[in-house]
Amino acid sequence: MKKKSGSEDSEKVELEHLEELDMELERLLTEQRNPATMDIDRKDIVEILRVINSEDRKVPSAVEKEIPNIAKAVELVVSSIKAGGRLLYVGAGTSGRLGVIDAAECPPTFNTPAYLVQATIAGGRRALWRSIEGAEDDSESGRKAMADREVCPKDVVVGLSASGRTPFVVGALLEAKRRNAKTVAVSSAPESKISEITDVVITPIVGPEVISGSTRMKAGTAEKLVLNMISTASMISIGKVYSNLMIDLRPTNEKLISRARRIIRMIEGVNGRTANEAFERSGRDLKTALVMIEAKVDRRIAARALKESSGIIWKAIEIARNYRRT
For the segment 99-117, the average pLDDT, to the nearest whole number, is 94
Q: Is 20 a catalytic residue?
A: no
Among candidate residues 136, 209, 223, 294, the one labeled active-site is 136
pTM: 0.86
Contact predicate 287/305, CB 8 Å: no
Q: Decide: residue 51, CB within 10 A, 0-12 exposed, 13-18 middle, 19+ buried.
A: middle
Contact predicate 34/209, CB 8 Å: yes
Please give the mean pLDDT across all residues of the chain: 90
Mind listing the domains of the chain with CATH numbers? 58-237 (3.40.50.10490), 241-325 (1.10.8.1080)
Beta strands in 21-144 (DSSP E): 87-91, 117-121
240-277: pLDDT as tens digits: 999 998 888 778 788 888 888 999 999 888 888 888 99
CA distances from 195 to 89, 116, 147, 183, 203 (A): 15, 25, 21, 10, 9
- What pLDDT, on a 0 to 100 scale, did the predictor assign at position 16? 47
Q: Is 136 a catalytic residue?
A: yes
Among candidate residues 105, 268, 277, 318, the one labeled active-site is 105
How far is residue 58's CA from residue 209's CA, in Å, rounded to a whole number?
11
For the cut 60, the answer to whether the pLDDT of residue 22 exceeds it is no
